[in-house]
Amino acid sequence: MDKQPFHETTRERWHFSHFIPEQVESLSERLGLDSLLVKLLCARKVTTGDEQAIKDFITPSWDLITRFKGATSDEDLERATSRIKKALDSHERIVVNGDPDADGITGTVILTTGLRHLGGEVHYDFPIRSKEGHGLQPRIIDEAKQSGATLIITSDCGSKDVESVRYANSQNIDVIICDHHILGKENPPAYAIVNPYRRNEKTLEQSLSGAGVSMKLVLAIFDKMQVQVPDEVLKYLLAIATLGTISDRMSFLNPMNRLIVKEGIRALNSTRMEGLRALKDVSSNGIEELRSNDIGRTIVPRLNAPGRIGDRSEGIPDSRIVVDLLLLGAGYQNAQKASEVLEEFNLVIELDQSKKNRPAYVNETSALDDATIVEDINEKRKFMTSKIEDEIDMLVQKQVDVEKDKIIIVQGRNWNPGVIGIDTDRLKDRFLRPAVILTEYTGSEYLRGSVRSIPTINMYRIVDTVAEDFEKKHGRQLFQTEVQTLQGKRLVNAFGGHAQACGFTLHKRDLEEFISALRGGMESVPSDQFNFSYEVLDTLPLSQINYEFVRRLDHLAPYGQEFEYPLFFMEGISVGKARPFGNKYQEARTPHVEFWVSGAHPKKQRHPGYRLNAVGFGLWEKFLKLNSHDPKLKYDIIFSVEFFKKRVKKKLLHKLRLNVVDIRLSTK
């Protein structure tokens, strides 16, 4: 039993990295690196290896991109590439079943691009997330059978879809699983499973995204076909794989991911592919050169939006619209077909058809129109998410004991399952502990659930253990859903994900037992695992922030999951001209704040001092509580430094600002 209320153990803290100056200086000399960068490498524990390992981390070998044998077991790779070669040689119809999120979408683009380049007849489809969830879907199997397809390749899914693969086999369709998720106790009876976890030893490939595994499979197929991958195709595949790697928050401590993203961002920023360029332009708000954090904030939400709410039976484009868009300009998309699809979409979505702002590189209207559709769907997703947030705020007061609960569980009704993951993530951030959102539906016996966790707790393992104990006790699976197929109704797997994010479907009759078992499992997690802190690299005076400082940090780019862009500390600063902001559906909350920070010159009292623009995402409410409009108040902040080139009215502007992640009253 804890000696204090549980919520008292989850307070935010600012944790400052500590360094031994002599060690930093020594490493700096041996590696030929700026001391600031050495401190960052030490803080991220990159320096625990030998000097060569550190150099390999900073400058990974190109071999990490081109090698593919670690993508799965040797036997599975041989079976997969041989079967696909047979399909290409025999002109079989191939269907890619992608998961309807950014990683699954980009993996689908990669598989489709690679196989079409080799002459394959490749089609693609995705589950209707709000009705079917994730994974290999019997509906797609039925439609593949009816169209004459003989091979299905999954993208970012399938590793646990035992029943669905059996069903495909019964329809004389071979299935090749291409996935990166953790394997279950029983593997699907697929023709081959391309999954890095099929290897017994630990490999770099086990930290790849689904898109990354798809790229490795494509490279293996080119090798099997004895065809050289054209440079332009490889650059395109790297740009697409980068989107999947960033979206699925794969480890940037992994040099393979670092190299994919580094080269992929370079390719993305210079691409001439109409669809990819149109998506970049409509997402970036004028930013000329996107960085990894820009991609995570701008492009990725737009990739996810159609999959979250799409349903073509209701006139809402789904994940296929994103693939249609990204393939434009790659040489494998029929422009007339895209135009026909757009005509259907235009019946239900109001689009701005004006051509006056079309970039010159867009030769077909379809690229920019598809990008606009994606943007419109993203706006609809924001509205739906905001509406659910309002309901959650009320339910938290009734359903959550903030002082005692080690996991936040909120249950609602008729929430779109495609967007509840976003709100679960926000619950996790709000309470600094794992969160679950459950939603039931009128007329259905099943509930959908979304789980998000903090970095120190593996919720996938905990939920999976609950499911295993349930199956031992009752002799049936906990997470299943019923689907209609050509052979009648079937129960299929409905659980999957990662340590920090997973989802499931379960029957209402099992809900109470599930919640009880989940809470019981959480009780065994020590309270110190819930401690959350911001890792602050160093103190940084306002006077030292300039373009040269950002360029120094860029030497270790890219930054991302587990190798985050560094946070710095500044004390005793003044703030002014604060304004709240949020998207147009957040007017009641206006969660974000923009303001100016200013500080005196460290040596010259009469110097006017320094001033920089700052933003604080999610900090408006806290800012209001701290700011009593007393001009004498001083603040301490922790922040990162952002620099970007932005085109406004044909002028290229260089913007420098602080991204403030937390703020407190200063005692200085």
CA atoms within 13 A on the CB side of 83: 23
DSSP assignment of 247-271:
HTT--TTSHHHHHHHHHHHHHHHH-
Instruction: Provide the CATH number for the domain formed by 532-665 in this structure.
Output: 2.40.50.140
Structure tokens at 10: 């989850």
The reported pLDDT for the residue numbered 361 is 31
Structure tokens at 16: 């400052």
Angle between helices 231-247 and 102-117 (to 10 degrees): 160
Sheet holding 446-452, edge to edge: 408-413, 435-440, 446-452, 501-507, 495-497
- According to DSSP, the β-strands at 435-440 and 446-452 are antiparallel
The reported pLDDT for the residue numbered 560 is 94
Cβ pair 533, 9 in contact under 8 A: no
Structure tokens at 517: 């078992």
- According to DSSP, the β-strands at 192-194 and 174-178 are parallel
The reported pLDDT for the residue numbered 76 is 98
Q: Which residues of the chain have pLDDT under 50?
A: 1-4, 8-11, 335-365, 585-588
The reported pLDDT for the residue numbered 534 is 87
Answer whether 60-257 and 532-665 agree in fold. no
The contacts of residue 343 (CB under 8 Å, 6+ apart) are none
The reported pLDDT for the residue numbered 602 is 59
Strand, helix or coil for residue 92: coil
Cβ pair 139, 100 in contact under 8 A: no
The reported pLDDT for the residue numbered 368 is 60
Please state, in angstroms and rounded to a whole number, the distance separating the CA atoms of residues 200 and 179.
16
The contacts of residue 261 (CB under 8 Å, 6+ apart) are 242, 245, 246, 252, 292, 558, 560
Q: Is the peptide bond before 558 cis (omega within 30 degrees of 0)?
A: yes
Domain boundaries, the chain: 60-257, 271-380, 400-530, 532-665
Residue closest to 326 by CA, chosen among 209, 266, 239: 239
Q: In terms of CATH architecture, what is 400-530?
A: Roll (3.10)
Question: Burial letters for 562-591: b for 16+ Cβ neighbours within 10 Å, e otherwise?
Answer: bbbbbbbbbeebbbeebebebeebbeebeb
Q: Phi and psi dihedrals of 512, rounded to 5?
A: -60, -45
Its CATH class, for the domain covering 60-257, is alpha beta
Structure tokens at 68: 């593919």
Cβ pair 151, 124 in contact under 8 A: no
Give the alpha-carbon dihedral of 131, 163, 248, 466, to 10 degrees.
90
The reported pLDDT for the residue numbered 373 is 66
